Structure 1
Amino acid sequence: MTRTLLRGRILTFHADPAETEDNHRYIEDGAILVADGIIEAVGSHDELRRQDIIKGAIEIDHRPHLIVPGFIDPHIHFPQVQVIASWGTQLLDWLNRYTFPEEARYADIDHATRMAGAFLDQLVAHGTTTACAFSSSHRGSTQALFEAADVRGMSLIAGKVMMDRNAPEGVLDTAQSGYDDSKALISRWHGNGRLRFAITPRFAITSTPEQMEAAGALASEYPSMHVQSHLSENLAEIDYTLQLYPKARDYLDVYEHYGLLGQHTLMGHCIHLREREIARMAETGTRAIFCPTSNLFLGSGLFDADGLRAAGIVSGIATDVGGGTSYSQLQTLNEGYKVLQLRGQQLTPLAALHWATRGNAVALSMEDRIGSIRPGCDADLVVLDSSATPDMALRAERLETLSEELFLLQILGDDRSIAQTYVAGRPMKPARPLN
C-alpha cells in the first residue's frame, strides 16, 4: 500500500465559527498521512514522524502553504460552461436567451463528453473536489458527466434535469421519459464509487404537475437521495410559478405538495422567502443554497444568511456557474461577503472558509466523509498559496494573523492561489515550484 505524507500548515473545522468559538484546529507544522484515498492520521509533523505508521511514506512538503479541506460546490450547472460571462438580463430572459439554446447542444454526446472533462478540470483547477451539479435534460449528458468524474475519482452528485414545458423543444423531456431516464441513471451510477444521483426537477416553471408527480415518486422510492431545484430566486419567477400552480400557498408549497422537501433537498437561491416557507424549510430540514455571484449578476436580490440561520435552516454557498461568474469558491466567498455587508451582516474569514468546506458538507449531509481533515475522511484537500500573485504577495508581507491570511485569500484569491488539489489523495494539478 502506497502511503503519502503531506506536510504544511493545516487548518480544519469541527464546528461552525458563526455558532461557537471552539470550531477549528490549526497546526503550524502539520502532516497528513494518506493511504488509498483516505486520511489515516493528522498531527504535527514531528508527532507523525515518530510513529511507525508512516514508515515508507512518500513525503511531499507544501510549506509554507496552507492545507485545507477540498472546496465543495453544492449548486452548479454543468451545461453552462460556455454560458458563463454572457451579457446579463434578469433570470427568465437570461434562461431563454442563453441557457436553453446552449443546453440543447448537449443532445450531442460528443459535445457533452468534451464539456464534461472541461467542466471537471475547471472545478479541480479552482480547488473544488466535490460538486452537486445539474446536467442537461439529456440522459447522455449526465452519463458523460458521471463517466468523467469516475475516471478522476471525484466525489460528484449529479442529476438529469427534468423539464417538460416552457422551454424550447430541444431541451424538453416528458414526465415519463424524465422518470425513466432518471431510473436508468440511478441504476447505473448511484453509489458507484464516489458518485451519487440527484433527483432534479429544474424548477416549477419548467415542470408540469405530472412531471412533479414523477419527481415525487422518485423521491419516495429513494428517500435518502438528494433532490435539487431552485426556489424564490427572482420576483417574476415567483409570480409566474404561482400562475402555473394557482392552488399553491406559495412557491415552496409546489415542492411540498409533491413530497420533495427534506434534509436531502437542496434549494438554490431562497432569496424572497415568505414566513411560512422559512418555517416549513426549517421543519423539514430543507437546505437553502446561497449563490452570491449569480444573484448579483442577474440582479436577483440579497440572501439573508443570518435570518435563515436564526430560523434553523442549514445553508450552503455555491458558485451557480454559469449564472454565477466564477468557478472559484474563494471568489464566491468574496461576493458573499459583500452581499452580507449590504444586508448589515458579517461573514468572518473563519466562517467563510468553514462554509465552503465543512459547512457545505453538512448541507449535503456528507460531513462523515468530506469537508474535514481527520482520520477516516476522504483525502480531498486543497493547498492554498496566499502569495500567489504580486498584489497578494505585497499584502502578505503585512499579515499578522491566520484570519488576515484567510481574508486575503477570500478577497484576492482565485485559481492562481490553488497550489495543488488532491482528489482522494491524488494530486490533480501539475506541480509548480515554490517561490
Structure 2
Amino acid sequence: MSQTLQAVRGMNDILPDEAEIWEHFEDIVRDWLKSYGYRPIRMPIVEPTPLFKRAIGEVTDIVEKEMYSFEDALNGENLTLRPEGTASCVRAAIQHNLVTGQGPQRLYYHGPMFRHERPQKGRYRQFHQIGVEALGFAGPDIDAEHIMMCARLWDDLGLEDVSLELNSLGSAEERGQHRAALIAYLEQHQDKLDDDGKRRLYTNPLRILDTKNPELQAVVEAAPKLAEYLGDESRAHFAAVQVFLKDAGIPYRINHRLVRGLDYYNRTVFEWVTTRLGAQGTVCAGGRYDGLVSQLGGKPQPAAGFAMGVERLLALWRESGGEAERMVPDVYLVHLGDAAQRLAFRAAEALRGHGFAAVLHCGGGSFKSQMKKADGSGAPVAVVIGDDEAAVGEVGIKPLRGPGGQQRVSLELLPEAVGALLYADDEGDNGGV
C-alpha cells in the first residue's frame, strides 16, 4: 500500500476553521490600509534570482542559505520563490513606471513568502506577510506614518505587550565609516567571535551586532555605535521622526543594535516586538530604503516600508483574546422528494440573487436528519420543501433561533419573507429585498 502523501515540512495547510480567522483578520487589515490611502498591488511568487541578490545582499543569510532557487528547465533562467516582498514591489514599480509616471505611490500586498529555515513555532518555510511600501516620499513624515499605522492596527486588534524599537542606520557613507571602525574593533576581539561572527567580520560586520549568542553580548555592547557616525542630515531626519512619534503619544526605545537583516535599509529602521511568542518576538519590521530603486535599475527615488508576519500576528491576537465569529449562512434549505429538490435549487438561487447566503442540503436523508444539519449550520432560518409544497410552488419558512412557527409562502415572495425574519429588528432594512 502506498504511503499517504503529506504537505512539505514547514509549509502548512490552513483548514476551514483557521482560514475563517485568517479571512476575518485580512478584512480588518484591508479596511485599515484603505483608511491610510494605500492601494493593493500583486506581484508574482516567482522572480529572477538576481533580483534578490541585488536587493537583499549576497552575503545575507537569506541569499546565502534560505532561498528556494532553481533553474527553469525550459530556458535555463535562474528563478527564486520570493523570500520577501519589497524587492518584488520595487521591481514592479520600476517595470511599469508607477512612480516616474504617476507620482509617489502608497502600496500594499499580502501573500506567501518562502525561506528554507528550520521550522519552529512562528517560523515556517512558507509564511505569509502583509507588506506596505511608500515610494517617492523623502521626508521623515512617511517614516512616522508607517509606525503610527502599526500602532493603530495593534489598537484595532486589541493586541497587548507590543513595543517599538527604533534606530537610524544613516547614509551609505556614514555606515561605511562606522563599518571600518567596527571591523577594527572586532578584529581585536576575533578570538571571542563565534563561527557566524568570523564569517561575517569582513562581509557584513553590522549583522554581528544583532547576534543572539549570549557569549558575545559584552563584546557587541562595547562596539562602536553607528549613532556616533551620523551626520547632521541623518540626525535631523531621525529627530524629526521622534518628534512625530512623541506628538502621537507612541512610546519607543532606541536600540543601537537594531540593524535589520536586509542590506537595502538606510536611515530609519524599526521593529515591533513582543515577549509573548518566545524566541520569535518580532511581529513587524521595516524602515527606509532610499537606494533600492536605483540599485534595481530605476531612476533614484526615496522609499520606505514595512512588513508583518501574519502567522505571528494571529498567534499574538489569540493570546490577547482575539477571535473571529464563525461564518454561518442566512438560510439552510432542506427538501424531500425529486420535485422538492428541483424547487429547492430554484429557491436557493432566488435567495442568493437577493444577497442572502444560502446552503442547499445535498446528500439526501430524512427531514429529521436534514433539520439537524440545518440547526448545526448556525443558520437562523430554514427553508423546508416537501412534495406538498412543490406541487403548488410554495416553500415553508421556519425560524431556527427565535420565536415563531413555520409558515408557507410562494417562491416569488420567499426573499421578502426571509428578509422580514432576519431583519425584523432593523427598521427600514429588508435585507436587500
Class of the TM-score when normalised by the shorter of the 2 chains: under 0.3
Greater Rg, structure 1 or structure 2?
A: 2
Q: TM-score, normalised by structure 1?
A: 0.22
Q: TM-score, normalised by structure 2?
A: 0.22
Q: Which has the higher contact order (CA 8 A, sep 6+)?
A: 1
